[in-house]
A and B are shown apart, each in its own frame.
Chain A
Amino acid sequence: MIITNIEEVPGKKIVAHYGLVTGSTVRAKHVGRDLMAGLKNIIGGELKGYTELLEDARGQAKDRMIEQAKEMGANAIINVRFNTSSIAQGASELYIYGTAVRVE
């Protein structure tokens, strides 16, 4: 599966459009990580636990999008966009969307 965030797949020709594909996940952080982050918050620096958590969640959202595109018979997704919104305290939604296409 080729994924790009521009309107084409460079070096290839788009032969069919399948429409919008999306993937999303809502994640909450757990207490253990929060405790460590609280300590780290005094001295500053990177919160590795949160970085990993968000990377992981984005990966899951992306996989869901790819799954949807595969079902449609597409082999590439173009114009991919990311969106992050916090829906409640301590939980955030990660949303990814793009256009499924077939390229040759």
Chain B
Amino acid sequence: MEELISLTANLGIPFLIIVIALITGSMIERRHYRSIDQREKKLGHIPLLNSKKYPKEDTVIDSRFVSGSVVISYDYFKRFLAGLRQIFGGEVKSYVSLIDRGRREAILRLKAKCPDADLIVNLRVETSSISKGKRKRSIGSVEVFAYGTALLYSKT
């Protein structure tokens, strides 16, 4: 009897955490994607360039340095899926959607800082994984940082 209890405790708690993570994680992700889509429509009129050259036909009246960043952590379920993937290899889809969310969010935050800009040039996106602690107690998260130069054209 005692063995049975300890077995349920040992297997049951991680299983429960995975189920909770699956429900909340997918809910948060869906909500985040919805808000990203909405804001991308609103700020879609600002073109982004990742080159240093820009069209010179208009006169630039102001240029500003803009940046945006976000730290996103993966949930327990995503980590579980990725762990399974490491046995067979292949694309880790659960992490792809995570980093995609991070990149789009960082660029949106950058755009939100200059809603009146006509063009953003030399956009750079940097990704770094932070806090790689000990295997068991580590907090897995990825930081995305986007920066560029916003240009304002004269309206005449």
Residues of chain A touching chain B, judged by Cβ–Cβ distance below 8 Å, are: 2-7, 9-11, 29, 34, 37-38, 40-48, 50-51, 54-55, 58, 80, 82, 84, 86, 89-90, 92
Q: Report 19 cross-chain contacts, Cβ distance below 8 Å, ordered by A residue.
A: A3-B64, A5-B122, A6-B52, A7-B52, A29-B131, A37-B73, A41-B73, A41-B74, A42-B76, A44-B24, A44-B74, A44-B75, A44-B76, A45-B75, A46-B70, A46-B71, A54-B69, A80-B65, A82-B126
Determine the chain B residues whose CB is within 8 A of the CB of A4 once the complex forms: 63, 65, 122, 149
Residues of chain B touching chain A, judged by Cβ–Cβ distance below 8 Å, are: 17, 20-21, 24-25, 28-29, 32, 52, 54, 59-65, 67, 69-78, 105, 121-122, 124, 126, 128, 130-133, 137, 139-141, 143, 145, 147-149, 151
Say whether B148 contacts A42, CB under 8 Å.
Answer: no
Say whether A90 contacts B63, CB under 8 Å.
Answer: no
A-B interface contact total, Cβ < 8 Å:
122
8 Å CB contact of B63 from A11, A37, A58 = A11
Say whether B132 contacts A41, CB under 8 Å.
Answer: no
CA distance in complex: A22, B77 (Å): 41
Say whether B60 contacts A10, CB under 8 Å.
Answer: yes
8 Å CB contact of A6 from B77, B131, B149 = B149
